[in-house]
Chains A and B, each alone.
Chain A
Amino acid sequence: MHEYFYTLADAITALLKGDEIYTCTFRGEDSDFVRFNGSAVRQAGTVAQRFFNLDLIRGQRHAGADVALSGDLEEDHARLTQALAELREQLPYLPEDPYLLYATDVQSSVHEGENALPDSASAVAAVLDAGRGRDLVGFYAAGGIYAGFANAFGQRNWFASYNFNCDWSFYYQADKAVKTAYAGFVWEPDEFAHKVATAAEQLEQLRQAPRTIPPGHYRVYLAPAALDDVLHTLTWGGFGLKDHRTKQTTLLKMVEEGARLHPGVTLRENTRDGVAPNFQGAGFIKPNQVTLIEAGTFRNCLVSPRSAQEYGVPTNGASNRETPQSLDMAAGDIPRQDVLQRLDTGVYINNVWYLNYSDRSACRMTGMTRFATFWVEHGVIQAPLNVMRFDESIYRMLGEHLLGLTSERELILNTSTYHQRSTGSSRVPGALIDDFNFTL
């Protein structure tokens, strides 16, 4: 596939006139998608898609076009030739862009992942088998994901990854369910079976009569998947330089008033240990790590080339959205097996859901508990808990009310398939929090 992309990029180079240059990106996937409900197949199919984004540049003027490709070289060459001609026509009508910045140092790379994926039919059969006698609802996505960059200077970058993401729930009844994810590059039947067995055990705990608690403040444990959702919400405007310089960051109190989180909180964009490409749309290579928050203190923003030019600082290879792709939170010192004991009496939250800010300046966010959430007394799970709404500031959750983080972390591969399968990931511990505010 990468030769295909490079051939198209070379064709663009050959079509340039005068002082024109270009940057371009490629993204594509060959995916099998199978969704399940009631331990049967709801929808099954295949999606093959390729897109080519071309930015034609002359001086400080530029114009971009995103073009769907067919996969047929002759046809796609014709599409890109037409796109290039249309961009060339637009350029005179566009003003110079003072914030245009692109890589000029050629740093080429190829990451060609190994395709060791199972035949989807056998994976689907395994999932259906796991659902036998149970109410399984979920989704299996697998196949190749491709990304590329090229420019007129001869830089060529290629990334291909072949992975699967099986994300399912065992339902007991109504909204009581255990959610499990199994993702990776090689399907290990024993590992899948272990996850199925663990989920089945938790499902048994959901058969007890559910408990309802009144709104108020409780000690809680956020399992890694739940904490990951909190951190994901924090990435909406938390770390981008543009958000900081325009005072829209939800961490404004950290930079304006010196507010701090718990000294145990360290967050990094850890490209080296993630699963996303290490290059971005203007051709810059991402550093291995960018420290965002260190020991509770804000350190660095993610800086896109555009923001770098606008605010006169160096880029650190962030995408235009300036959000982490490979978020890494440092581990704490609470052994996972001690979590229930340390929680003592409170709420064990495996998953949260539908988070949003209720006060951006205070970095206060609301959301719901979801799936397997349990009421715990004296370190022993008592009963599943009916869903509760929380509304809590990050400065309390991960600040003054944070009791500790687990010493084990989980690698969570992003299950998002909006527009295309995600290559985002995070590595996150669990968090023990006091006085967590439930409101409804």
Chain B
Amino acid sequence: MLERVEERFRHLTPQGDFCSLRFVRERSEVLAVRQNIVQPMATSEDSGAMLTVYAGDGMGYAATGHVSLSGLQRAAEQAHGWAQQSAGRSVVDFSKMRTAPPTGAYATHELVPWRQTPLSDKIDLLRTECARLKTDDRIVDWDASLWYTETDTLYLTTDGGRVYQHFVYLVPMLSATANAGSETQTRTFGGRGYCRQGGLEVLDAVGFRTAAPQLSAEALQLLTAPNCPAEVMDVLLAPDQMILQIHESVGHPLELDRILGDERNYAGTSFVTPDMFGTYRYGSDLLNITFDPTRPEQYVSYGFDDDGQPAQREYLIRQGILQRALGGLSSQIRADLPGVANSRACSWNRPPIDRMANLNLEPGNASLEEMIAAVERGVYMKTNCSWSIDDSRNKFQFGCEWGQLIEHGKLTTVVKNPNYRGISATFWRSLKMVGNQDTLEIMGTPNCGKGEPNQVIRVGHASPACLFAGVEVFGGE
């Protein structure tokens, strides 16, 4: 299929000043066992192409599932029509978007291939893990599932560019819900956060086969736990909450298209302004944030973004000082700021916009035990379950599934409904200790929403556990 699409693209009647094709083929399977019953197996096969044309300073796109020569030709002409319509009234001067034609390839390392493992083996694995979640009559719902996806992308340009990338993703999920009367508590395996590139070897890497009993036990513990107290105290966040904290209050505010106003009608703007780069103190000296598409096992590693720009690791925040924005080529041109290769689309039917890829908080020196010992009164929170932040990405409130008080340097009472709130612009300055490599988890999320038309996309985050001082904490009712 890829060869045929390439050949057809090379035979298209040229349109505009520049034309590119981005073909995406994505195959996925979801296997799930709920309450020990195998759920309907869901498979999907999606494919299509987006043609993008520049004409003068204008740009247009057309996406189609019809990838015959005539289908692609029609799409190219439609894209050209939009480019002509937007010329002279375009936010971006697309005549400046020309770069050297990209060439290259990228492929996920899949050590234990999904497709070479019998379906019955995968179902048996899920049956086993699902059964291990049901430890008590008060566990009223429980499930185990795997979401496998294989994606091929081919990016071609009329000036000879060609980039082929092959990705394999796995998202393992576990959930146990406990109930007593009108109290219900759920523990999950990091939400959907233990998502990685790779095959079934991911399961052992993330501890999927050992997690179930503890999740059920913790859900039951929460049923009788007191609410998290409401007071200002230190907060120790586990990696499966840190990834959300990074995502919402570092990642989104640093997206250059938000800073430039593109998202103001939907996802919002940013408290970060272009003049802050290079000087603004985003966090304490301990804060180091990288854009890192180079970790092979991480969820959103790649060789090139969807505008064909080669991807490399960059510091966005170094020792607490803001360095660089999350902006792809078109945003870099508009803002006259350095950025990264993060112009990404969720599929063939959506145009690329500035997205996070792998956005990581670099590990520090503290062990988990040292951070707990350093707290006089605080709370340890695990696994995000609630997130809300204002449209400037400043005033946030996040909630976790699990909380445990830290008193005089020791973990003590388990508490339910732990929530905390703060303001991004000052919160990161209260970063007091950063966990070492042993506390680091490589995670991500399959569901980051943004853009008009809306796009939900994969994002990777790696983070150690981190300790913050003087945070407003509270619980439920």
Contact = CB atoms under 8 A, between A and B. Distances in A.
Nearest to A100: B40
B182 A256 contact: yes
Given A64-B43, A99-B37, A252-B184, A70 B71 contact: yes
Contact of A71 (B60, B65, B179): B65
A270 interface: no
B261 interface: yes
A47 B91 contact: no
A4 to B, nearest CB: 13
A139 B262 CA distance: 10
Contact of B91 (A41, A69, A169): A41
Given A43-B59, A70-B68, 14 more contacts: A38-B261, A40-B90, A46-B61, A47-B62, A48-B65, A64-B40, A64-B42, A66-B43, A70-B67, A94-B41, A139-B265, A387-B395, A389-B388, A391-B397
Interface stretch (A8-16, A271-279, A366-374): A366-374
Nearest to A136: B265
Contacts of B181: 256
The 10 closest A-B pairs by CB, nearest first: A359-B476, A45-B61, A66-B44, A247-B179, A246-B141, A417-B453, A139-B452, A362-B477, A256-B182, A41-B86
B89 interface: yes
B249 interface: no
Contacts of B177: 246-248
Contacts of B266: 139
Interface stretch (A183-191, A198-206, A350-358, A401-409): A350-358
29 contacts: A37-B91, A41-B90, A41-B91, A48-B66, A65-B42, A66-B42, A70-B68, A71-B64, A71-B71, A93-B118, A94-B41, A94-B123, A97-B40, A137-B262, A167-B265, A169-B264, A171-B261, A175-B391, A252-B184, A256-B182, A356-B387, A364-B477, A366-B397, A368-B395, A370-B391, A389-B388, A389-B421, A417-B452, A440-B397
B79 A356 contact: no
A33 interface: yes
Interface residues of A, number: 90
B207 to A, nearest CB: 25
B63 to A, nearest CB: 4
B91 A359 contact: no
A63 interface: yes
Interface stretch (B45-53, B98-106, B191-199, B430-438): B45-53
B45 A367 contact: no
Contact of B449 (A358, A362, A391, A418): A418
B158 interface: no
Interface string A110-151: 000000000001001000100000000111010000000000
A40 B89 contact: yes
B111 interface: no
Contact of B45 (A67, A75, A169): A67
A253 interface: yes
A418 B266 CA distance: 13
A128 B37 contact: no
A168 interface: yes
A90 B390 contact: no
Given A97-B38, A389-B390, A35 B477 contact: no
Contacts of A416: 454
Interface string A212-254: 0000000000000000000000000000000000111000110
Contacts of A65: 42-45
Interface string B384-427: 00111111100101010000000000000000010101010000
A361 to B, nearest CB: 6
A108 interface: no
A43 B351 contact: yes
Interface of B: 37-48, 58-68, 71, 75, 78-79, 82, 85-86, 89-92, 118-120, 123, 140-141, 177, 179, 181-184, 186, 260-262, 264-266, 268-269, 349-351, 386-392, 395, 397, 399, 417, 419, 421, 423, 449, 452-456, 475-477
A393 interface: yes
A46 B78 contact: yes
Contacts of A124: 85
Interface string A50-79: 110001000000111111111110010001
Interface of A: 31, 33, 35-38, 40-51, 55, 62-72, 75, 79, 83, 86, 90, 93-95, 97-100, 121, 124, 128, 137-139, 141, 167-169, 171, 174-175, 177, 179, 246-248, 252-253, 256-257, 353-362, 364, 366-368, 370, 387, 389, 391, 393, 416-419, 421, 439-440
A67 B44 contact: yes
A9 B6 CA distance: 31
A356 B388 contact: yes
A68 B45 contact: yes
A171 B264 contact: yes
A69 B65 contact: yes
A354 B390 contact: yes
A362 B184 CA distance: 10
Nearest to A99: B37
B264 A37 contact: yes
Nearest to B421: A440
Contacts of B423: 440
Contact of B46 (A68, A171, A177): A68
A51 B86 CA distance: 30
B453 A141 contact: yes
Contacts of A38: 91, 261
A366 B388 contact: yes
Nearest to B120: A93
Contacts of B120: 93
Contacts of A51: 46
A72 B47 CA distance: 14
Given A35-B452, A37-B260, A418-B449, A68 B65 contact: yes
Nearest to A63: B41
Q: Which of B37, B42, B265, B386 has the most CB of A within 10 A?
A: B265
B388 A257 contact: no
Contacts of A364: 476-477
B175 to A, nearest CB: 10
A418 B75 CA distance: 22
Contacts of B41: 63-64, 90, 94
B349 A47 contact: yes
Nearest to A45: B61
Nearest to B350: A47
A179 B265 contact: yes
B421 to A, nearest CB: 5
A257 B91 contact: no
Nearest to B273: A174
A90 B264 CA distance: 47
B183 A361 contact: yes
A41 to B, nearest CB: 4
Nearest to A62: B40
A44 B85 CA distance: 9
